Chain A
């Protein structure tokens, strides 16, 4: 079946370092991928997205990389800050639907 999973459940980094959060997906028909950030007690917050016809997209301090050959997605956060501490989810949308399929999540802990 369709699934989106994460390799690392917890990632601890030092403030100022770069963070890389990885995600594997199984549905090659997915044509859109999104990274969400979820802070405690809040709903997921959109960070950045990428379409399947792209392999890289940059935002403010964040970069998403897509490798369709190995069905792998990553989120890079530059100069990680304490405010980046949260759970990060990758999600995919299959085909023409608006049905998001989420992975389990990675907890990013930024040490001051």
Chain B
């Protein structure tokens, strides 16, 4: 059973460009959350998707957007990249809503470098 997978592993972009990151949740999971982790910091919540809709959002600008597909996989899009967007982007999936657990399973992340 594959866990959470993310692609690509690493990515280098230039300021002003746009980027799309992808995530496939753990089998049986229907909720996907995205986090940004700057070097030496804890992950910061970006947003969460469930039933193809954004359910919650953290303190990130509208340049950050996402999508969830019918197969529960998800994309994170960042427009007009800034140097400060350089970070490890983590995807986490969790069990179906209503289950008595808050455990989230994280993928290995995508390392984004903006130059």
- Interface pair B43/A98, CB less than 8 Å apart: no
11 A-B pairs, CB-CB below 8 angstroms? A36-B106, A43-B90, A43-B108, A98-B33, A98-B94, A100-B92, A100-B104, A102-B35, A102-B43, A103-B42, A104-B41
| Interface, chain A (partner B; CB < 8 A) | 4, 32, 34, 36, 41-46, 49, 89, 91, 93, 97-105
How many Å from the CB of A19 to the closest CB on chain B?
Answer: 19
- Please tell me if the beta carbons of A42 and B108 are within 8 angstroms of each other in the complex: yes
Contact of B42 among A93, A97, A105 (CB under 8 A): A105
In this complex, how many residues of chain B approach chain A with their Cβ under 8 Å: the count is: 24
Tell which of A41, A49, A104 touches B102, judged by Cβ atoms closer than 8 Å: A49
- Given contact pairs A98-B56, A98-B104, a sample of 8 additional A-B residue pairs in the complex whose CB atoms are under 8 Å apart: A34-B103, A41-B108, A43-B109, A99-B48, A101-B45, A102-B42, A102-B44, A103-B42
- Asked whether, in the complex, the Cβ of B56 is within 8 Å of the Cβ of A97, the reply is yes
